[in-house]
Amino acid sequence: MHLILANPRGFCAGVNMAIESLERALELFGTPLYVYHEIVHNLHVVDRFRRRGVVFVDRIEDIPSGANVLYSAHGVAPAIRTAALQRSLRAIDATCPLVTKVHLEAVRFAKEGYTILLIGHEGHDEVAGTLGEAPDSIRLVQTAEEAADLQVPDEAKVAYLTQTTLSVDDAEVIISALRKRFPHIAGPSRDDICYATQNRQEAVKDLLPEVDLILVVGSQNSSNSLRLAEIACSAGKPAYLIDGLRELQTNWLRPDQTVLITAGASAPEDVVEELVAFLQDRYSATMESRTIREEHVSFPLPRELRLVSA
């Protein structure tokens, strides 16, 4: 067996910032410390923090008045911030800056009277937060078929935004359908799909022709991880999304295969390393690391933590 490790893979700058924020908040404030939604969509990360006393909640009302709460990397709607203030919560905003960019675009388009078409997946934490910025102005669009049938109050005042963790190719299909339906549609000044999502997808696309199978390390509720597996499947290659070694089924594998290993933007590297070590031991697998894009992006800790640290 031969293993190819895709680079970049694993943690992106937004995930690194969110996890470092939670680590720093634990140091400063101790427990109980509450996080609104999962800090990132990864089972291992959430379980490790839960064992240290972090409490993850899906309702702001479940947090005691006056407690410390950290907002996840996916962002929150303004109504959540208001509810937190009403409960006198000390809020730490670990929203990824690339998600904040989409929120600000939504606010701007809404103020200018646009109907905003948000391309994304219903129920995703990031989508819920963006919808909450301008609920009367935003409509969720999930397919090209939906895009083709849309009716809006003023076809001259339509704009689109996208969830940051979508498949670049899938988003482009819907954007093309929107442009066909609304020739004068406005869009973001820069692509909303985040650099890390695009880079990980590009690495998979570039390396797929060389491999027989792909293993994607990531959780089922991680949008960007799901997209990596879908890209491989759409190219006719078997792909499996696994949280880690425990979910690996050896009947997927043959000892003569070339296997591509990547990881979603919220998957820890030590989980990848455990998987690689098993395959090397079980199949005497050789390994090479292939870099498609270099990444040198970093985000500062939230202002609330920088002020306390100072």
Q: Indicate the pLDDT class of residue 105, thresholds 50, 70 and 90.
A: very high
What is the predicted pLDDT for the residue at 285? 98
Mean pLDDT for the stretch of residues 167-196: 94
Bridge partners (DSSP) of residue 286 are 2
Alpha helices in 72-181 (DSSP H): 78-86, 97-111, 125-131, 144-148, 168-181
Mean pLDDT rounded to a whole number for the chain? 96
Return the CATH number at 144. 3.40.1010.20
% of residues, the chain, pLDDT over 90: 97
Query: At which of 181, 215, 248 does a domain end?
Result: 181
66 with 115, same domain: the answer is no
The answer to whether residue 283 is domain-embedded is: yes
* Cα atoms found within 13 Å of the Cα of residue 177, Cβ hemisphere only: 18
* First-to-final CA distance of the chain: 52
134 with 50, same domain: the answer is no
Q: Confirm whether 126 is a catalytic residue.
A: yes
The answer to whether residue 31 is domain-embedded is: yes
Tell me which of 38-47, 187-196, 245-254, 286-295 is least confident.
187-196
74 with 106, same domain: the answer is no
The answer to whether residue 68 is domain-embedded is: yes
Query: At which of 181, 203, 223 does a domain end?
Result: 181
Q: Indicate the pLDDT class of residue 107, thresholds 50, 70 and 90.
A: very high
The answer to whether residue 188 is domain-embedded is: no
The answer to whether residue 263 is domain-embedded is: yes
What is the predicted pLDDT for the residue at 308? 74
What is the predicted pLDDT for the residue at 279? 98
What pTM, to 2 d.p., does this model score?
A: 0.93
Dihedral of the alpha carbons of 55, 57, 60, 64, in degrees to the nearest 10: -30
278 CB-contact burial (10 Å; exposed 0-12 / middle 13-18 / buried 19+)? middle
142 with 76, same domain: the answer is no
126 with 174, same domain: the answer is yes
24 with 74, same domain: the answer is yes
Of 105, 126, 133, 230, which residue is the catalytic one?
126
163 with 232, same domain: the answer is no
Tell me which of 3-7, 132-136, 188-192, 259-263 is least confident.
188-192
pLDDT at 296 over 80: yes
pLDDT at 57 over 80: yes
The answer to whether residue 81 is domain-embedded is: yes
201 with 245, same domain: the answer is yes
29 CB-contact burial (10 Å; exposed 0-12 / middle 13-18 / buried 19+)? middle
The answer to whether residue 56 is domain-embedded is: yes
Bridge partners (DSSP) of residue 289 are 5
Mean pLDDT for the stretch of residues 124-128: 96
What is the predicted pLDDT for the residue at 190? 82
| Domain count along the chain | 3
What is the predicted pLDDT for the residue at 173? 96
267: containing domain: 2-11+195-291
What is the predicted pLDDT for the residue at 309? 58
Return the CATH number at 32. 3.40.50.11270
7 with 28, same domain: the answer is no
6 with 27, same domain: the answer is no
150 with 227, same domain: the answer is no
What would the pLDDT profile of 132-153 be if each residue is shown by its tens digit? 999 999 999 999 999 999 999 9
Query: At which of 156, 181, 206 does a domain end?
Result: 181
